[in-house]
């Protein structure tokens, strides 16, 4: 079936959840209005639906292949990328001073969702380029910015992130790749990197690898890492792609999903690299790219979940099977009329809309953190840092669940490749793993975002939820019921928070045994909070007679989420408070 970008839901979130009322007063966004967002996303959605989405089935079936001459992507990918770059879509959320369109980050997040819902294998290349751009904007020298940024922003060149090594995995302290300084100021980079997304391809004119490596005499562990630009082709005197660098693709990984995306093993054999910033601060710089990538992976979770939901909904409307349980018909009916199929579809829809709302709201805080002023900027930065692990960890775990439900709605046909929904399930499974597993996100949330400040930002988050509870309680009986569920979930969060603060410093194993349940509880609450905000906005607009069908649907979705999904915070609370002892005492 054709992919239909959910432009109306996205633009609703942009208007009501992305802090647009504050962002629009900033000089960098003063020239934009909501009509601009709707128009550009509508055109981008059309492009993705018509050009990118048809690539998915063939790309999944044939995959990328490594030849002596390089990596070959499936038919149509090179032409589609050329159109993507020519139309300027890579530049959408990037600053105008670097050749970008300068749209807010939330609009960029929406575009990331649309592109990856169309075909995640294609979307991974621009996603990594976005991260490389963010890293160079904040840490590159003026010469590096002048040489690389405009070409990356336009999509003429693409970017990668090279962290993982065979012996190190996620333990970056064990990185062995060496960087030896040469007389001309460049460095010779030598080592092997694995799991490098789009590490080799011919879509763009050059590939700008950002590589973590260790200089001679550097401190051991993560504090001794430096960041280097290692381009596939060394820039020539005019800034174009010149001589080939000593960076080679040794092999392609054979993966469960995203088959068309070339995941490479890269070998650097004295490759020429250029230091970004200062030596031994590479991990600090790379965290900028990692934060960008982690947020984007969470958005990919929304994308895959949305695509799976669309397929399941269309199938449930058409598939006729069995008589209704209430005896209202002696004939078989479309399965969407059966209560449990409705349960699965509504769970899928509410999860997608909750995770989308959380992502777009977080994008707004990321923007305020970058462009805001004074104390408001600092507060936005703290809130954004608290929410990014939730966007990544919670949204990707839920994406796997939604994709699994999509297979279930199809029944036996879902297990058959020809229906296409198995691909979404396979593609989704990488999302809770790469750019930091769910446990890594949970440990980051607990250690860096909760224990470090003794729960200060976490309590402010809870106060934000309380405010929405109070507003919902005044908005009618249905909204009051949602407020009650939100309050109960917040109580679960606060109980878990206080327990983890109490045991976290004295018994880290006890605390971190509950870190993933705490992330899932907090992510659930955060999504419910944003759907509560959605319910308030939709209720107000419905009272004014604006788009009754859509606003009623938004209200119903928030209500379903509160009574069917948000209630699961009670289970996570029990896991946090009472599950760790049995976990740590059991033999594995």
Which active-site residues does the annotation give? 435
Tokens of 290: 């990692």
Q: What are phi and psi of 459, to 5 degrees?
A: -70, -35
- Which positions ≥6 away from 570 have C-beta within 8 Å? 488, 492
CA 442 distance to own-chain centroid: 15
Going by their DSSP bridges, the two strands 207-214 and 187-197 should be labelled as unpaired
CA 373-379-384 angle, 5° bins? 110
* Helix or strand (DSSP H, E) at 351: helix 339-371
What does each C-alpha distance from 311 to 420, 487, 492, 525 come to in angstroms? 9, 34, 34, 27
Distance from C-alpha of 54 to C-alpha of 5, rounded to nearest angstrom: 14
Q: For 377-393, what is the HEC assignment? A: HHHHHHHHHHHHHHHHH
Asked if 493 and 421 touch (Cβ cutoff 8 Å), the reply is no
| DSSP letter, residue 454 | T
**Which run of H or of E encompasses 273?**
strand 263-275
The CA radius of gyration of the chain, in Å to the nearest whole number, is 24
For 84-101, give the DSSP string.
Answer: HHHTTGGGTTS-GGGT--
φ/ψ (deg, to 5) at 299: -65, -35
Place of tokens 């198995």: 422
Structure tokens at 138: 């904040």
CB 363 within 8 A of CB 104: yes
Give the pairing type, strands 187-197 and 158-162: unpaired
Residue-level length of the chain:
588
The answer to whether the CB of 361 falls within 8 A of the CB of 529 is no
């Amino acid at each position: 079936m054709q992919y239909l970008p959910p432009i109306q839901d996205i633009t609703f979130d942009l208007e009501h959840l992305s802090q647009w009322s504050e962002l629009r007063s900033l000089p960098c966004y003063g020239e934009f209005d909501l009509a601009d967002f709707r128009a550009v996303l509508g055109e981008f959605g059309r492009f993705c639906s018509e050009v990118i989405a048809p690539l998915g089935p063939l790309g999944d079936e044939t995959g990328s292949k490594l030849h002596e001459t390089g990596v070959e992507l499936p038919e149509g990918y090179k032409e589609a990328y050329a159109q993507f770059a020519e139309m300027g879509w890579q530049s959408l959320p990037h600053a105008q001073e670097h050749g970008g369109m300068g749209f807010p980050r939330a609009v960029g997040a929406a575009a990331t969702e649309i592109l990856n819902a169309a075909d995640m294998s294609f979307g991974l290349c621009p996603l990594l380029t976005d991260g490389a751009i963010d890293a160079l904007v904040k840490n590159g020298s003026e010469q590096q910015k002048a040489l690389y940024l405009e070409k990356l922003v336009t999509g003429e060149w693409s970017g990668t992130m090279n962290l993982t090594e065979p012996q190190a995995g996620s333990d970056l302290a064990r990185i062995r790749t060496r960087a030896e300084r040469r007389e001309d100021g460049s460095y010779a980079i030598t080592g092997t990197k694995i799991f490098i997304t789009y590490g080799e391809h011919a879509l763009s004119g050059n590939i700008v690898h950002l590589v973590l490596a260790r200089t001679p005499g550097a401190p051991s562990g993560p504090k001794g890492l430096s960041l280097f630009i290692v381009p596939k082709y060394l820039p020539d005197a005019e800034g174009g792609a010149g001589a080939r660098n000593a960076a080679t693709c040794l092999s392609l990984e054979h993966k469960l999903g995203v088959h068309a995306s070339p995941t490479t093993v890269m070998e650097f054999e004295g490759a020429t690299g250029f230091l970004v910033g200062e030596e031994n601060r590479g991990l600090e710089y790379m965290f900028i790219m990692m934060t960008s990538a982690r947020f984007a992976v969470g958005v990919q979770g929304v994308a895959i979940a949305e695509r799976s939901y669309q397929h399941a909904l269309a199938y449930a409307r058409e598939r006729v099977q069995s008589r209704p349980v209430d005896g209202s018909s002696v004939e078989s009916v479309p399965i969407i009329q059966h209560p449990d199929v409705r349960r699965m579809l509504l769970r899928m829809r509410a999860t997608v809309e909750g995770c989308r709302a959380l992502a777009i709201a977080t994008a707004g805080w990321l923007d305020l953190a970058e462009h805001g002023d004074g104390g408001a900027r600092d507060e936005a930065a703290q809130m954004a840092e608290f929410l990014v692990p939730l966007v990544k960890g919670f949204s990707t775990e839920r994406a796997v669940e939604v994709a699994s439900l999509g297979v279930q709605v199809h029944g036996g046909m879902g297990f058959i490749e020809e229906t296409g929904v198995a691909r979404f399930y396979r593609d989704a499974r990488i999302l809770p793993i790469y750019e930091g597993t769910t446990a890594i996100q949970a440990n980051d949330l607990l250690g860096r975002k909760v224990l470090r400040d003794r729960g200060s930002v976490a309590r402010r988050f809870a106060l934000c939820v309380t405010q929405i509870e109070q507003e919902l309680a005044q908005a009618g009986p249905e909204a009051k019921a949602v407020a009650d569920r939100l309050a109960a979930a917040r109580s679960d969060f606060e109980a878990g928070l206080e327990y983890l603060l109490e045991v976290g410093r004295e018994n880290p194993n006890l605390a971190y045994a509950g870190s993933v349940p705490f992330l899932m509880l907090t992510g659930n609450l955060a999504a419910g909070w944003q759907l509560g905000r959605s319910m308030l906005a939709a209720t107000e607009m419905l009272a004014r007679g604006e788009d009754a069908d859509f606003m009623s649907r938004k209200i119903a979705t928030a209500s379903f989420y509160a009574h069917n999904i948000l209630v699961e915070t009670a289970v996570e609370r029990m896991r946090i408070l009472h599950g760790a002892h049995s976990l740590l005492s059991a033999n594995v």
